[in-house]
Amino acid sequence: MATCVEQVEPATVSIGNRTWALLRKKLSTLRTECSRFGIGAAFRLVADKVGSRVLGLKVSHVVWLDVEEVVVTAASLPKFAFRFLNAAEVAAYARDPANDLDNEFVARAADGRNSCFAALDGDRIAAYGWYARDWIEGEHCDGFGLKMPPDVVYMYKGFTHPDYRGQRLHGAVMGLALRAFAENGVKALISTVEWTNDASLKSCARLGYRRIGVLARARFLSIPWWKTSSKVRERGVEIITPTVAARKLTIV
């Protein structure tokens, strides 16, 4: 009997400890979110977690940036060089896990349709964003595919290395990438940002992006449903919905 208690107790304590550690981590995330972005942001985070667990809910804002809105210049951040990377450079940066790149992106950099535009600090990659012409797969667009007209580019997988966050690099990379694309006739960027990603929403708003709609999907009693915005289609962008069998709601 004594042996039995000895075996059970450490397991109970360790599960208890793990639960507490997890709870502490979640509370600390909420506290940080609250102090950085306000109580509304913390509420959205909780709603998103519950909605995602119960209904598989995913909600993103669709944002749009016209080239005329871009006022940022490379001169405002003289420490960095802004340019497109080739596939060999992406492969070199992908070797460091801190850069959050992998072999899929090396292949994308070589496919002629996707490209990576980055801010470089010497030989370090400080921030980058990915850009797709013509169309984007659902896996990089919250489960919805998009088909863009030739003068619109889809921006995805924006990333700033933790050592460089808070220096306005995310916006600068996107603005300067759009300027570079504009030399080949591109007029606007379209992108999606999860409704809980306040850091990204903040840098997008600061740069001049406008919210033009929502992409939302969920699953209730095994029935998938989604919402998309007609404002997106009005700009010539076709939305490929996750499955034709699903119920579709259009919001204006």
Ligand X SMILES: CC(C)(COP(=O)(O)OP(=O)(O)OC[C@H]1O[C@@H](n2cnc3c(N)ncnc32)[C@H](O)[C@@H]1OP(=O)(O)O)[C@@H](O)C(=O)NCCC(=O)NCCS
Minimum distance between the CB of residue 29 and ligand X, rounded to whole angstroms? 12
d(CA 236, CA 143): 19
- Number of residues located near ligand X, criterion CB under 6 A: 18
**Region of residue 134 (left: phi > 0; alpha: psi -120 to 50; beta: else):** left
Instruction: Considering the complex, state which of residue 83 and residue 248 has its C-beta at the smaller distance from ligand X.
Output: 83
141 is a site residue for ligand X (CB under 6 A): no
140 is a site residue for ligand X (CB under 6 A): no
Q: Which of residues 89-128 bind ligand X (CB under 6 A)?
A: 127
189 is a site residue for ligand X (CB under 6 A): no
170 is a site residue for ligand X (CB under 6 A): yes
197 is a site residue for ligand X (CB under 6 A): yes
Instruction: Considering the complex, state which of residue 97 and residue 112 has its C-beta at the smaller distance from ligand X.
Output: 97
Using the CB atoms, write b or e for 151-183: b if 16+ within 10 Å.
ebbbbbbbbbbeebeebbbbbbbbbbbbbbbbe
CB closest to ligand X, residue no: 166
d(CA 60, CA 138): 13
**Residue closest to 160 by CA, chosen among 148, 168, 149, 152:** 168
Q: Which of 42, 141, 169, 178 binds ligand X (CB under 6 A)?
A: 169
Angle at which helices 2-37 and 198-207 cross, to 10°: 20
167 is a site residue for ligand X (CB under 6 A): yes
193 is a site residue for ligand X (CB under 6 A): yes
Minimum distance between the CB of residue 137 and ligand X, rounded to whole angstroms? 16
196 is a site residue for ligand X (CB under 6 A): no
Minimum distance between the CB of residue 101 and ligand X, rounded to whole angstroms? 12
Indicate the SS3 state at residue 229.
Answer: strand
190 is a site residue for ligand X (CB under 6 A): no
Q: Which of 83, 140, 202, 211 binds ligand X (CB under 6 A)?
A: 202
Single-letter amino acid code for the residue at 132: A
Q: Point out which span in 10-18, 91-99, 167-175, 227-235 binds ligand X (CB under 6 A).
A: 167-175
- A 10 A CB-CB count for 89 gives 17
- A 10 A CB-CB count for 134 gives 14
CA distances from 92 to 102, 122, 136, 138, 210 (A): 10, 14, 25, 27, 35
Minimum distance between the CB of residue 192 and ligand X, rounded to whole angstroms? 7
**Region of residue 72 (left: phi > 0; alpha: psi -120 to 50; beta: else):** beta
**Residue closest to 203 by CA, chosen among 191, 213, 216:** 191
Minimum distance between the CB of residue 50 and ligand X, rounded to whole angstroms? 21
158 is a site residue for ligand X (CB under 6 A): yes
Q: State the residues that interact with ligand X by CB under 6 A.
A: 36, 127, 158-160, 165-171, 193, 197, 199-200, 202-203
